[in-house]
Chains A and B, each alone.
Chain A
Amino acid sequence: MLTLATGNKAVAAAVKEARPLVIAAYPITPQTEIVEQIAEYVAAGELSSQYIPVESEHSAMAACIGASVTGGRTFTATSSHGLLYMHEMVHWAAGARLPIVMANVNRSVGPGWNVWAEHTDAFSQRDTGWLQVFVSTVQEAYDATLMAFKIAEHEGVLLPVMVNLDGFTLSHIMQSLETVEIGDFLPPMHLPHAIDVEQPCAYGPLTGPADYFKFRWDIERSMRDAPGVIAEVEREFGERFGRRYGPTEDYRCEDADILVIALGTLGKEAEVAVDLLRAEGVKAGSMRLRWFRPFPDLDLRGRDVVVIDRDYSFGFGGVLAHSIRSKTGVEPFSVIAGLGGQEVTYDDIADFVRMHTPGTEYWFGVNGHV
């Protein structure tokens, strides 16, 4: 069915279609609309999930962990300080190999108190063992949320997935949304290590170094298998529903001399910048990175690269720029832009390309010292 929805409502509609056993959540701007909409579905009897309005994000993730470990599908949504507050449980969910799906509506971290888009919240959970995908349209928010359940629950993965969408810029704007009937694309969840609540036993005992080490390696082994699973799920989704996705969305990249690499809505806006630059004779392309964990293999040899980071690792640099450099060996021009919802237009992005100076860092809107 074709309708018009916000990014938040698209996520909620996908969750409704995925029919989780348990949804536990705590509201936070700009995510609140997701859990409000899901609560309405449950209240209206359109969704039979157990909805647990918990007292904090830490409890939201703990409740999802408890439900997931019994073998039930679970979902939660959060943002910024809420995600940081649940950090301990975010690690636990991955370590316990639970295929929980969470929408994170990307928002800056205070102070100063700011509710607008930034990727610092997601990157602060970078090393927890969660898969992370970043979306750029209302439709993609819907599709990625549905696929997230299938990827997370795949026996070759069994890790949680975080679906990231830019606060306000995507969460609160309205675009066309084509919803689907998911059918057997998403079979019932099967957790091989689910506990049997009818047969109580001790669970989660102290784990010595040798076993703990194996568990850690096992997470990494699944992370290394995940790109193949993601590709298979995205291919099947494309065949069934006609919308195709990959580790990156490449726009006019084939013959490009210079690529803009960005996440989320900035990656989409970059396509318009590419059109402007092409009209000037600059052979530019846009490579919007979708999957951040596992980080995809990118072949950037022989290209100039401009990376836009909507984040910063203080005392180090832009997280995405350094990820690109360490994974590809290419020395990018690192642009720090859009922090705290700073307005970044396609004209600005075209300027970043014109300014391209490999190996340097540029803070957009900050004069002088770089």
Chain B
Amino acid sequence: MSISTPGGPERRPTVVSTGKKPAAGRPAAGDKPAAKAGAGKAGGGKGTPRPGAGGKGRKPVTPVKVSQGRSWGPIALFVAVGVLAVGIIGVGAWAVYQGAQPWQKRADAINGIVNYRDKDPESLKYEKHQSGPLKYKYSPPVGGVHNDAWQNCMGDVYDAPIANEHAVHSLEHGAVWITYRPDLPQDQVEKLAGKVRGTEKMLMSPYEGLDKAISLQAWGYQLKVDNADDERIDEFIKDLRVNASVEGPTALCNQGVTATGTTPRDLGAQMPTQ
């Protein structure tokens, strides 16, 4: 912008020089452009010679226009190119940044989600598989020690409660476990089942003693909601299914326990007899 000011003073002498009464015309011509230059850029520039020309009846307007075009052209071009470049880079970078948001960030952005990986990492630690009933700090559990056998999580919809000790192992394999209060209306249960059926790394079961109607678990994450229409359910599944796996995307969800019942069992007990 500093380059635009030389255009003003440079113009003034040209106008004045063609005027016949320099002494008288000077102050008037000098005052007007100063006032107009402050008001506008191109409009002010064009208007400048006119009062002078109108009053004195001269047309030295052409050289004024030429000198004006010479400085504005490249500036406008560079500004345009610059704005365009910054725009392209900005929009591109923003799109890439948005798309590349790691799943952890997207999960943490879900309203009401509890991130136990940050809040209580100790509760998720374990040294080896343990058999038999185990105690969990949170209800429903979101991770930690578990049995050898996992609960089948091939989009399995269980109609009765299942064992925490198996379900936690499924969470470790990247499953999202939907639990609901046994008194949840049937149409809501069906809605939830529709998100589970046919999709691996998903399982669902009723759960006694929930403080909210529905609770979703992934390894180290939990979200409790009041009804099956809550949009955060889909967001939770989208962000954490498979991603939350401790053992990567190829950990198995089949060949596990398919029976219901809250007492953990040995896998051998439900294997078909050969």
Physical interaction between A and B: no
